[in-house]
């Protein structure tokens, strides 16, 4: 079983519930000016700006090629536990959405995306996620003495506000080895993380293909 599912599961993210008030609707003609107020409300709603389009996610065909092909799951609300091994305790509470991908063998992938309140907030979140990934190997070894971990930085990608690519290799005392590739990218206030993993070491990781996937994940957002 890959390390990404063996190590600590992601703590649940909680958010405060929003109280929604309901106003009573006056019957037509029940009070003077009722019709005018209704028409004004309709005109206001018609002129309101449309809600911004939700960020788009990668398709299965846009992941690094695999002999058995990829299957993409639905886009789901919440932060995926598949990234908990590096980001579980370091992720601020936002409204995340994610998509899982799998093959017929041991290779899997995940993309998580979040729209923050501003470009500055998005940059701060991307910086935070990159820091968590850079320190992941040391934290894994500290928390799990039976694991040896090595992290590598594979550079940046020139796309929108930028993307970074990282790698992580883990080996357990009983011989299980896993390699993971991760990217953090940003387009304005929107941040996306892509994770890929399978059994093996860095020589087994499709780094060049993953960089293309990481770049596509950012360009495809909008």
**Residue partners of 27: CB distance under 8 A and separation at least 6:** 34
Q: Are 58 and 216 in contact (CB under 8 A)?
A: yes
- Could you read off the pLDDT of 189-211 as tens digits, one per residue? 999 999 999 999 999 999 999 99
Residue 90 DSSP label? T
**Residues 89-113, buried b or exposed e (16+ Cβ, 10 A)?**
eebeebebbbbbbbbeeebbbbbbb
pLDDT (tens digit per residue) in 33-85:
444 444 444 444 444 445 678 999 999 999 999 999 999 999 999 999 999 88
Where does the chain show beta strands of DSSP type E? 71-72, 76-77, 97-102, 108-115, 147-157, 163-172, 177-187, 190-199
């Amino acid at each position: 079983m890959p390390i990404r599912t063996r190590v600590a599961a992601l703590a649940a993210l909680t958010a405060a519930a929003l109280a929604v008030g309901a106003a009573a609707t006056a019957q037509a003609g029940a009070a003077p000016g009722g019709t005018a107020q209704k028409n004004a409300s309709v005109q206001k709603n018609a002129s309101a700006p449309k809600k911004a389009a939700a960020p788009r996610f990668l398709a299965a065909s846009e992941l690094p090629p695999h002999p058995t092909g990829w299957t993409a799951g639905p886009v789901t609300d919440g932060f995926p536990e598949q990234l908990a091994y590096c980001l579980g305790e370091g992720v601020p509470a936002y409204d995340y959405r994610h998509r899982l991908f799998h093959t017929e063998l041991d290779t899997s992938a995940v993309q998580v995306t979040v729209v923050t309140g501003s470009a500055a907030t998005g940059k701060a979140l991307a910086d935070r996620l990159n820091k968590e990934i850079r320190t992941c190997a040391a934290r894994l070894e500290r928390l799990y003495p039976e694991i040896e971990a090595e992290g590598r930085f594979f550079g940046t990608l020139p796309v929108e506000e930028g993307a970074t690519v990282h790698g992580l290799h883990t080996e357990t005392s009983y011989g299980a080895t896993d390699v993971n590739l991760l990217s953090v990218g940003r387009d304005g206030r929107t941040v996306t993380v892509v994770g890929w993993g399978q059994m093996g070491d860095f020589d087994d990781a499709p780094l060049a293909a993953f960089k293309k996937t990481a770049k596509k994940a950012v360009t495809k957002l909008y």
